[in-house]
Amino acid sequence: MHTEKNTQYTEKTILLILAFLLAGIERFIPVFPLLPWLKIGLLHSITLIWITRFGILDALAFIFVRQWVTAAFFGFSLMPFVLGTAGSISSVILGGILIKSQRFGIIGVAIFSALVHNITQLFVLFLMMNGNFVWQWQLPIMAIVSIFTGAITGFLAFEINKISFDFSLQKTENSKTFETHKKTNYLAIFALIFVIILTIIFESYYFYFAVFIGILIFSKIVKCEIPSPVKFMKRYGIFIFALYFSSLFSQKVEFSNINFWIFPLMQVAKISIWFLLTPFFQSSGFFTVFYKLLLKIFPKKCSETFAVGAIMPQIFPQILEELPQIIKVVFKNPKAAVKILVEKSQNILRDWES
């Protein structure tokens, strides 16, 4: 019964869950005052593991999957999306070649791919800004920064790789492919794309309030279950509070000003809307359509990565409910926390499939 397909399926699911959690954690680190554009890129440790286990092509598929699903959970904004995708593609290809050569340590590879990631972003910016962008000022800072961020992600990848060694021991019996997964509703998908574009253009309380009412009404019509307030806070409460406090410290409004306390609420409203929209993404088959398109570019053996991406929006909220337990353990014993996370997600996978 233990086929190759099932093992990879479980392993990929758990790695993807870890990637989302790391992406979530990173979003709630306050901005470093001198270098506001700086991001550590914690989730790229998972990308490195993905390359070593499943190859470069599959890692490219992983990038598209995680870009879309993180965007669906934590909000979509155009510039980081474009820059992030461009940077990740080039760094996966070049870093993957280094990994395949098997001469370099993981920290070295991580530092190199961080540099490639940054240089690609600079290049894309240079093209966007009609060549007025002076990259000479940015490159030295970016190179020095990538040594530190690369070392962090490389070390994380090494540690996670050690723990995740036990993944394949407990397996799920059947794996569903996303083709048979659910019927797609094209009208709903167009509506969702419309809402996404609107959230990029408009940023005001009135608009968020309108979307909120829209979601409430629409969920009754389509019979798509949205979580009750209690369940919503149980799942996303940690994220919402963390986001509020991190955005308190990453703004330049004076402490005594009322806006200091009010402005972060905008971010909270935005992310709550995204959290509320996720059931719609799931039930309309939004990702399924997207992954079917991608499968025309990628070879058939990558289809499993997309299948994992398609079930993710349903599994991830359930994982979030278990977060408080995991957080209790994290500070005492981080490795044990990851192990708990792995077990929980395996249980949820099994429940979901039966």
Which residues would be at the binding site for another protein (CB under 8 A)? 2-4, 7-8, 11, 31, 33-34, 36-37, 49, 52-53, 77-80, 98, 103-109, 111-112, 115, 119, 125, 128-140, 143-144, 146-147, 154-155, 157-158, 161, 165-166, 168-169, 200, 203, 250-252
Can you tell me the distance from the alpha carbon of 239 to that of 268, in angstroms, rounded to the nearest whole number? 9
Phi, psi of 137 (to 5 degrees): -75, -35
Query: Least CB distance from residue 272 to another protein, whole Å?
Result: 16
Shortest separation between residue 233's beta carbon and another protein, angstroms? 25
- Min dist CB 7 to another protein, Å, is 4
Which CB atom, from 130 or from 256, has the smaller least distance to another protein?
130
Closest of 328, 312, 153 to residue 238, by C-alpha? 328
Q: Which is nearer to another protein, 75 or 285 (CB)?
A: 75
> Which residue, 31 or 295, has its beta carbon nearer to another protein?
31
Is the separation of the CB atoms in 287 and 309 below 8 Å? yes
Least spacing, CB of residue 25 vs another protein, in Å:
18
**CB 324 to another protein: min, Å:** 29
Q: Report in angstroms how near the CB of residue 251 gets to another protein at its nearest.
A: 7
Classify the phi-psi angles of 30: left when phi > 0, otherwise alpha if psi is within -120 to 50, otherwise beta: beta
Structure tokens at 256: 């005594």
Closest distance of CB 147 from another protein, Å = 6
- Closest CB to another protein among residues 101, 228: 101
Please report, for residues 8, 322, 326, the alpha-carbon distance to residue 340 in angstroms, rounded to integers and kept in the order given.
Answer: 20, 10, 7
Measure the CA–CA gap between 234 and 216, rounded to whole angstroms. 19
Nearer to another protein, 6 or 219 (CB): 6
Which residue lies nearer to another protein by CB, 169 or 213? 169
Report the alpha-carbon distance of residue 117 to residue 94 in Å, rounded: 10
For the CA atoms of 163, 167, 169, 170, the dihedral, rounded to the nearest 10 degrees, stands at: 130
SS3 state of residue 254 = coil
Which residue's CB is nearer to another protein, number 138 or number 184?
Answer: 138
Residue closer to another protein, measured from CB, 131 or 229 = 131
Query: Minimal distance in Å, beta carbon 182 to another protein?
Result: 28
Q: How far does CA 156 lie from the centroid of its chain?
A: 16
Which residue, 113 or 283, has its beta carbon nearer to another protein?
A: 113
Largest Cα separation within the chain, whole Å, is 64
Question: How far apart are CB 232 and another protein at their closest, in Å?
Answer: 23
Helices assigned H by DSSP within the chain: 4-27, 44-54, 56-74, 78-101, 106-128, 135-163, 186-201, 205-222, 229-249, 259-284, 286-295, 303-321, 323-330, 334-353
Give the span between the Cα atoms of 57 and 70, in whole angstroms: 20
